[in-house]
Amino acid sequence: MFGTSANYVRSVRQRTGADGFPRCTAADLDWQFNRRRFPDHAEYYRQKAKEHYWRRRAAKLTKLKQAPRQITQRILSEVEIATLIRAAKTDRLMFDLAYFGGLRASELVSLTWAQVIRRDSGEAQLSIVGKGSRGREVLIPAVIAARLFASRGGAPASAPVFECVQRPGSPLTAYGINCIVKEAAERAGVNLAVTIRWLRDAHIWHAIDNGAPITLVSATLSHAELKTTSVYAHARPGESSGRHLKTKF
């Protein structure tokens, strides 16, 4: 008899309480309540669809206040950048590429020697695949390029440019890169909140301040829209109407 099997006894205990009566969940009560409201199953599901629609509609109509972009808090001067790069010591090359190439952490991690091309001018050309699989070509100054090519040794084209010390042959992780940046920031005495992204942001501000066209900066950093680059330019204005007001009354 199935009534005496161990599986049957176990299933009954799972469906009943200590008093032997069947357990009734909140979902069961909700179903019983709605079954009395809507005897017809089709009407029940129509009502549920309406409730779902209005919940989604209310969410779309609710406008949340957008959090302010913390761009101005990430501004580092050229002196601070130079101090930070010198404090990197053996990892200086990575900092140089992040700053002069405007590279993201993910782009540094995925950079291989096959993407590094030697130019006749002595510069290095980096074939970067960035966010959204958008490709771009970035030029690195000859002084930095010389150190870059000297660091390769006999590494194959498929090898990462920046290897993990604990895992030879494997690239550094974004977390590992930012840990190195934090250590360098502590030695340099700059803002300890700095990440590798700050060097990319500094590239934008310093290039625009030194007269680089905003379209060139946008193309170098592979911004999807020019207005993205403009946000950085507006965060550090070179002129203000307040300068033209009279300070003496």
Number of alpha helices (DSSP H) and beta strands (DSSP E) in the chain: 11, 3
Query: How far apart are alpha carbons 38 and 46 in whole angstroms?
Result: 10
Query: How far apart are alpha carbons 71 and 226 in whole angstroms?
Result: 16
Tokens of 125: 């050309």
**All domains in the chain, ordered by first residue:** 25-54 (no CATH), 72-110+161-235 (1.10.443.10)
Sheet of 135-140, strands arranged across: 116-118, 124-129, 135-140
Query: How far apart are alpha carbons 181 and 200 in whole angstroms?
Result: 13
Q: Give the pLDDT of residue 188.
A: 93
pLDDT single digits (tens) 179-204: 999 999 999 999 889 999 999 989 98
Q: Can you point out the beta strands (E) in 92-231?
A: 116-118, 124-129, 135-140
Query: How far apart are alpha carbons 42 and 62 in whole angstroms?
Result: 31
Angle between helices 142-150 and 92-100 (to 10 degrees): 140
pLDDT single digits (tens) 114-149: 999 999 999 999 999 888 788 889 999 999 999 999
* Residue owning tokens 């009502």: 47
Sign of CA dihedral 197, 176, 145, 114: negative
- pLDDT over 70 for what percent of the chain? 66
Q: What is the mean pLDDT of the chain?
A: 79
Q: Give the pLDDT of residue 133.
A: 81
* Residue owning tokens 């601070």: 80
State the DSSP string of 187-218: HHTS-TT--HHHHHHHHHHHHHHTT--HHHHH
Distances (CA, A) of 36 to 14, 29, 39: 27, 11, 6
Question: Which of 32 and 110 is assigned the larger pLDDT?
Answer: 110
pLDDT single digits (tens) 66-79: 545 566 777 888 99
From 25-29, 44-48, 232-236, the region with the lowest mean pLDDT: 25-29
Tokens of 164: 């993990």
pLDDT single digits (tens) 208-227: 888 888 888 888 887 877 77
Mean pLDDT for 93-107 is 93
Q: Which of 81, 47, 67 is nearest to 204 (CA)?
A: 81
Q: Give the pLDDT of residue 198.
A: 92
Instruction: Quote the pTM value.
Output: 0.66
Q: Give the pLDDT of residue 2.
A: 46
Q: Give the pLDDT of residue 103.
A: 92
Query: How far apart are alpha carbons 125 and 195 in whole angstroms?
Result: 24
Q: Give the pLDDT of residue 179.
A: 93
pLDDT band of 3, cuts 50, 70, 90: very low
Q: Could you tell me which residues come within 8 angstroms of residue 97 by beta carbon, excluding any fewer than 6 positions away?
A: 103, 108, 111, 126, 140, 144, 148, 161
Is the pLDDT assigned to residue 100 strictly greater than 80?
yes
